[in-house]
Amino acid sequence: MYLIWLRVAAILYAAAGITVFPAVLYGIVRWRKTTVHLGGMAFFFHFVSVVEMMVQAHHWMPVSVREIESLLGFAVAGLFFLVWWIYDAVSLGIFALPATLFLVFIPALGPDRYTFPSEGVRASWLVAHIIALLVAYAALCFSLLASLMYLVQERRIKGKLHFSAKSKSDTWFAPFDWLPPLDTLERIALATLEFGFPCMTVGLIIGSVLTQETPLGASYFLDPKVIASFASWAVYVLLLFIRRSAGLRGRKAAYVSGGVLVIMLFVFAANFFSRVHNFGVK
């Protein structure tokens, strides 16, 4: 019975993890209330699941890996709601709620190793995992490209202000007349960044499920490259948060996006040398 409550909690955590982004990044009060309500219900069902799980197992200390994951997720969510209750800091939910979902998603699949109905289904999930991550990296690259174009356009506009129309400097910038306005480039950079984030989140969740059929099991999460992948996801969230909350744009946004892209490309390349990414292993 505890699995039913845990699955309900996982669904509610996922919904709260979605609503927390417009609540924090855009400051929408309605979404803020929705996030708290959904997260609160998820925490309640999670609490019921943890109690029933321990009673059914006849012990009050976690033993299996999935028990530890569920309790760790419960602790993260509990700490978030404690901070929210004391300081009214919903902003931390942009990290805490998705992290809790990552922790409870696999235990919610069942107490044993998850198996796919057929090899075709497993292959489809693998394709979805790869496509989701590739789209996320492509979106980040496109965001960086738009930011770099912003820098060129900004310099071109400043050059026009300081030099006459016939100057050598203006001649050098003439081939870039086709560049969109600064505001358009800024909106493109931010929109592609926001589009890539859910793709990366979905890719990581699917990758976590795929490993459940392999002998690796929970050791998947101990691989340094996997840890780096989740760390890059956290950096992605931080980049979104900084751009929205601090109004980061233009030159600084391009530098920050470039740094994040370098980190993620390094993680992407490192995954090819990781033993846990050989999903054909049985």
| Residue pLDDT, tens place only, 13-60 | 999 999 998 898 888 889 999 999 999 999 999 999 999 988 887 777
Q: Measured between alpha carbons, how far is residue 52 from residues 2, 69, 95, 142 in Å?
A: 6, 15, 27, 47
Q: Please report, in tens digits, the pLDDT of each residue of the chain (282 residues total).
A: 889 999 999 999 999 999 998 898 888 889 999 999 999 999 999 999 999 988 887 777 776 778 888 999 999 999 999 999 999 889 889 889 998 998 898 888 877 666 777 888 888 988 998 899 889 888 888 888 888 888 888 777 776 655 554 455 445 555 667 778 888 888 888 888 888 888 888 888 888 777 766 665 555 556 666 777 777 788 888 878 777 766 666 667 777 767 776 777 776 666 666 555 554 444
Answer yes or no: pTM beyond 0.75.
yes
User: What is the pLDDT at residue 100?
Assistant: 93
User: What is the pLDDT at residue 280?
Assistant: 47
SS3 at position 76: helix
User: What is the pLDDT at residue 32?
Assistant: 93
The candidate with the shortest Cα–Cα distance to 50, out of 11, 107, 6, is 6
Contact 172, 156 (CB under 8 A): no
Contact 279, 210 (CB under 8 A): yes
DSSP character for 215? Answer: T
What is the DSSP secondary-structure string of 7-52? HHHHHHHHHHHHHHHHHHHS--HHHHHHHHHHHHHHHHHHHHHHHH
User: What is the pLDDT at residue 281?
Assistant: 44
Separation between Cα atoms, residue 137 and residue 111, nearest integer Å: 33
Contact 42, 13 (CB under 8 A): yes
